[in-house]
Chains A and B, each alone.
Chain A
Amino acid sequence: MVAGSAEGVALVCREPLSLWGGLNPRTGEIIDRRHALSGEMAAGRVLVLPQGKGSSTGSAILLESVRSGVAPAAIINLKADPIIALGSIVADELYNKPVPIVVLPEEAFYSINKGDQLTIEPDGTVRVNAEPSTKNT
């Protein structure tokens, strides 16, 4: 969806998250107190969430987190999320630092567990714990 390579530990949730009101762009903490990941640090980790939701300010939050150096290493979605993708594309335009975004089919998406070591390759291939290739789009 947005190309790039990244490595990081998976931070997994099964419910959508609004980045605005959900991610602190200065610390990288998940701050939606109604969300299962509340209190977790997204900075440097691969955020695995089905899709975003809520406020369209989400793109700005992702962009600012890139500027602050606390963005997720990459984001894996089940469904293409324009608000998340846009934050990453503008980060590429302004700072040459896109957050790689991959959309995985259901089976591959749900096979990722919290704590898995993930590698994302420039072609969008996702490797889980160095095991070859999960399918990608």
Chain B
Amino acid sequence: MSIKLSERDKQMLQGREGKAAQMAMRIMVRMADVYGASELMDVSQAHIDGCGLLSEAGLEFAEKLAGYGGKVRIPTTLNMGPLDLQNWKQFGVNEEFAAKAIRQAKAYMDMGCIPTWTCAPYQSYLTPRFGQQIAWGESNAICYANSVLGARTNRYGDYIDICAAITGRVPRCGLHLKENRKGQILLRLVDIDPTVMKDDCSYAVLGHLIGPMVGDKIPVIEGLSADATSDQLKAFGAAAASAGAVALFHAVGVTPEANSLEEAFQGGQPEKVIDIGMAEFREARADLSTAREKDKLDVVVLGCPHFSYEEFRRLAQLIREQKENGNTLCEDVRFIVISSQTSYSLLVRSDFMDVIIDFGTEITLDTCLFHTPMIAADTKVLMTNSGKCAYYGPGELGVKIAFGSMADCVLSAVKGYVCRKEV
């Protein structure tokens, strides 16, 4: 199929804006063909996912573009990277890995990217506005930007993200266009106990449940509480985007393109209606765990996606409750929280940071459990309240996963074994 190009697109393709823009535009034009788009369109912000994984090829790609003098044309934030840039030695990362990770970080910085280093950019800096056309990478961030913010992005995987940032252009198709954002499947929460939904991990369970039900279709959820917090919607989207390919969901009365059921479906009818009750919910919850109750616990990981200030506050409260009962962190258990510099700098100014640190919490910034080698090789059981972490943990880290609420995680870390209120 032939793609209609603007004069500037053509100039980039001919190399008049440098070799980096030329290569980026060549990739973009081939991708337009994959998407079945007939032309390109402008985007005004980008979020780079390709800076996250450290691979030989990824490093070569970034250094090639930076070496060509490539510069981003639009404000561009960075996803978490493969290294805690300040504290990597504390987490046992080896020098060779660190050196390569620093080279990769430098390549993206040389191209003019903003050093946010977070997978929760929507809680960080330069939050996109409603209707803004953007090119975002990172499945959870894509889902949040489209669904909760109402900005418009397709799923831009590693490497097309930086091509979009350098050219400021993307194929005109998919979720960039309003008509493709209408709901397709209606999911009705029929007898989900409202007190269950107050539990921080219930949104992750719900995301894990609906992901496989809808695949890459756009679900409309009816029955989510209108006071759902940013952190709850973050957990929901991250789990749904891992267990399925959800890039956009609507929640009636919660998300901005779904003030009513009718608006969510843009006046159309759902292809399918699915009712979700407690039986399905419990099944999905159980499916997130591969470890068993009372298994010896090695490590707790919170902050996937990156911990927010509010989550730090909640953690401090839970730790205080344990402390009041005379409980301390079991010495065989590591307690790790992953976050961004942005949230951390707020934590530093809080009055509860000491509570968290005194408990023995290790805080790591800028990076991701899956992309930096910080979990010891002999780790057998990992506990988390993240649906995404629970989903990928067994394959990526070779660990057994105990999934539970943040309160369960703190309690288990004290006991030294997996111990949950609900299983």
- Closest partner residue, chain A, to B23 (CB atom): A93
Q: Is the CB of B57 within 8 A of A57?
A: no
Q: Is the CB of B27 within 8 A of A93?
A: yes
Q: Is the CB of A94 within 8 A of B244?
A: no
Residues of B near A57 (CB, < 8 A) are 49, 52-53, 157-158
Residues of A near B392 (CB, < 8 A) are 20-21, 55
Classify chain A: how many residues form its interface, as a range. 35 or more
Classify chain B: how many residues form its interface, as a range. 35 or more
Residues of A near B49 (CB, < 8 A) are 56-57
For chain B, residues 1 to 50, give those with C-beta under 8 angstroms from any C-beta of chain A. 23, 26-27, 30-31, 34-36, 49-50
A54, A61, A94: which has the most chain B beta carbons within 10 Å?
A: A54
In Å, the complex CA distance between A106 and B409 comes to 45
In Å, the complex CA distance between A119 and B53 comes to 33
Residues of B near A83 (CB, < 8 A) are 155, 157
A70 at the binding interface (Cβ < 8 Å) = no
Q: Which of A29-37, A41-49, A107-115, A128-136 contacts B (4 or more CB under 8 A)?
A: A29-37
In Å, the complex CA distance between A31 and B391 comes to 12
For chain B, residues 72 to 101, give those with C-beta under 8 angstroms from any C-beta of chain A. none
Q: Shortest beta-carbon distance, B259 to chain A, in Å?
A: 29
Q: Is the CB of A59 within 8 A of B159?
A: yes
Q: Is the CB of B31 within 8 A of A56?
A: no
- Closest partner residue, chain A, to B137 (CB atom): A56
Residues of B near A33 (CB, < 8 A) are 290, 394-395
B60 at the binding interface (Cβ < 8 Å) = yes
Residues of B near A95 (CB, < 8 A) are 57
- Closest partner residue, chain A, to B154 (CB atom): A82
Chain B window 241-265, contacts with chain A (Cβ cutoff 8 Å), 1 for yes, 0 for no: 1111100000000000000000000
Q: Shortest beta-carbon distance, A115 to chain B, in Å?
A: 24
B199 at the binding interface (Cβ < 8 Å) = no
Q: Is the CB of B159 within 8 A of A80?
A: no
Q: Is the CB of B31 within 8 A of A85?
A: yes
A25 at the binding interface (Cβ < 8 Å) = yes
A2, A16, A31, A53: which has the most chain B beta carbons within 10 Å?
A: A53
Q: Is the CB of A94 within 8 A of B60?
A: yes
Given contacts A80-B35, A94-B57, contact A51 B216 (CB under 8 A): yes
Residues of A near B30 (CB, < 8 A) are 89
Q: Is the CB of A56 within 8 A of B395?
A: no
B359 at the binding interface (Cβ < 8 Å) = no
Chain B window 225-245, contacts with chain A (Cβ cutoff 8 Å), 1 for yes, 0 for no: 000000000000000011111
Q: Is the CB of A86 within 8 A of B396?
A: no
In Å, the complex CA distance between A85 and B34 comes to 7
Give the residue of B58, B138, B139 whose beta carbon is less than 8 angstroms from that of A60.
B58
A58 at the binding interface (Cβ < 8 Å) = yes
Give the residue of B137, B159, B215 whose beta carbon is less than 8 angstroms from that of A53.
B215
Given contacts A83-B157, A86-B160, A90-B27, contact A25 B55 (CB under 8 A): yes
- Closest partner residue, chain B, to A30 (CB atom): B395
Q: Is the CB of B394 within 8 A of A54?
A: no
Given contacts A34-B394, A58-B157, contact A52 B55 (CB under 8 A): no
Q: Shortest beta-carbon distance, A106 to chain B, in Å?
A: 15
A21, A22, A32, A52: which has the most chain B beta carbons within 10 Å?
A: A21
Q: Shortest beta-carbon distance, A61 to chain B, in Å?
A: 8
In Å, the complex CA distance between A87 and B31 comes to 11
In Å, the complex CA distance between A109 and B197 comes to 41
Q: Shortest beta-carbon distance, B291 to chain A, in Å?
A: 13
A63 at the binding interface (Cβ < 8 Å) = yes
- Closest partner residue, chain B, to A15 (CB atom): B212
In Å, the complex CA distance between A56 and B26 comes to 20
Q: Is the CB of A56 within 8 A of B155?
A: yes
For chain B, residues 111 to 142, give those with C-beta under 8 angstroms from any C-beta of chain A. 137-139, 142
A116 at the binding interface (Cβ < 8 Å) = no
In Å, the complex CA distance between A26 and B53 comes to 14
Q: Hey, which bits of chain B sit against chain A, CB under 8 A? A: 23, 26-27, 30-31, 34-36, 49-50, 52-53, 55-58, 60-61, 64, 137-139, 142, 154-161, 215-216, 241-245, 290, 370, 391-392, 394-396
**What are 28 inter-chain pairs, A to B, with CB distance below 8 A?**
A21-B396, A22-B395, A25-B55, A31-B395, A32-B395, A33-B290, A33-B395, A34-B391, A53-B216, A54-B245, A55-B242, A56-B156, A56-B157, A58-B157, A59-B157, A59-B159, A59-B160, A63-B58, A82-B31, A82-B34, A85-B31, A85-B34, A86-B157, A86-B160, A90-B27, A90-B61, A93-B23, A94-B57
- Extra pairs beyond A63-B159, A87-B159 (10, CB < 8 Å): A32-B395, A56-B137, A56-B138, A56-B156, A57-B52, A63-B61, A64-B55, A82-B154, A82-B160, A86-B27
